[in-house]
């Protein structure tokens, strides 16, 4: 027995059709098996069901292309032959649920799990973002000072939140990188660590960062990002 239940089924049906005297169907399946065996020979291993499905889909596509050509040329008999081959091979493909069946299956699964929507299945996570309207940037010859606030608009607490600023000259690498932890909610973790750099969902936190600029650097612009962890 092969690794593929689909190939086994095709082999059994091919023999059955032959015994029943259904030479046309037997010939169609024997032709398909020749391509499956050829693929196995090239791979030097038995094909899985997914591999066999790929072979069948390739053959069905060939039938479909020929069917369209014969139909356009009004070669009805040849078109019917291609159609018959397609219909037989398609019986060995997994049944594809239509949109209504898929929707019903999803609804049943959600109902069984007491979930009212797909959104409730999404993992809880923090989403820390800048309150852009609050950002202030003070520039002097040898110093840049940044301040502002952030908000957690996610569904889970964010921990050890820090703001990172990248200062750039004209090349593609940052000339300076500096960061600062925010002032947020105070949390006592299970290991005894106390931190005031967390934000619960819906909460805001502030930050202020001052960066001294060496005379040797010519900073032309800067970018910022927020980094954080999520702990239980």
Question: What was the pLDDT predicted at 201?
Answer: 93
Question: What was the pLDDT predicted at 106?
Answer: 61
This prediction's pTM: 0.49
Question: What was the pLDDT predicted at 116?
Answer: 53
Closest CA to 56 of 83, 26, 88: 88
* Beta strand spans in the chain (E): 128-130, 136-140, 143-152, 159-168, 174-181, 185-188, 194-198, 204-212, 221-229
SS3 158: strand
The encoded tokens of residue 231 equal 């702990």
Question: What was the pLDDT predicted at 109?
Answer: 63
* Beta strand spans in 12-142 (E): 128-130, 136-140
Could you give the count of Cα atoms lying within 13 Å of 179 in the half-sphere of its Cβ?
11
SS3 102: helix
The verdict on domain 5-90 having CATH code 1.20.58.220 is no
Domain with CATH 2.60.40.10 in the chain: 128-229
Under CATH, which number does the domain 128-229 receive?
Answer: 2.60.40.10
Which pairing describes strands 128-130 and 221-229: parallel, antiparallel, or unpaired? Answer: unpaired
Which residue ranges of the chain lie beneath pLDDT 70?
A: 1-2, 95-103, 105-123, 172
Question: What was the pLDDT predicted at 101?
Answer: 61
Question: What was the pLDDT predicted at 144?
Answer: 94
Question: What was the pLDDT predicted at 194?
Answer: 83
Domain with CATH 1.10.1510.10 in the chain: 5-90
């Amino acid at each position: 027995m092969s690794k593929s239940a689909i190939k086994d089924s095709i082999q059994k049906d091919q023999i059955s059709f032959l015994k029943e005297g259904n030479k046309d169907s037997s010939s169609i399946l024997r032709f398909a098996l020749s391509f499956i065996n050829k693929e196995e020979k090239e791979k030097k291993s038995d094909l899985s069901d997914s591999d066999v499905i790929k072979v069948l889909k390739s053959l069905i596509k060939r039938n479909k292309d020929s069917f369209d050509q014969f139909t356009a040329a009004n070669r009805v008999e040849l078109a019917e032959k291609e159609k018959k081959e397609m219909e037989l091979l398609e019986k060995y493909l997994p049944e594809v649920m239509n949109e209504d069946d898929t929707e019903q299956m999803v609804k049943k699964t959600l109902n069984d799990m007491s979930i009212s929507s797909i959104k409730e299945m999404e993992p809880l996570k923090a989403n820390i973002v800048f309150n852009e309207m609050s950002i202030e940037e003070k520039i002097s010859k040898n110093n840049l000072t940044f301040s502002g606030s952030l908000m957690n608009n996610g569904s889970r607490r964010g921990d050890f939140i820090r703001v990172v600023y990248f200062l750039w000259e004209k090349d593609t690498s940052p000339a300076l990188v500096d960061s600062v932890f925010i002032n947020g909610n105070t949390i006592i973790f299970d290991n005894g660590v106390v931190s005031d750099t967390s934000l619960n969902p819906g909460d805001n936190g502030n930050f202020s960062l001052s960066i001294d600029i060496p005379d040797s650097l010519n900073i032309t612009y800067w970018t910022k990002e927020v980094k954080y962890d999520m702990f239980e």
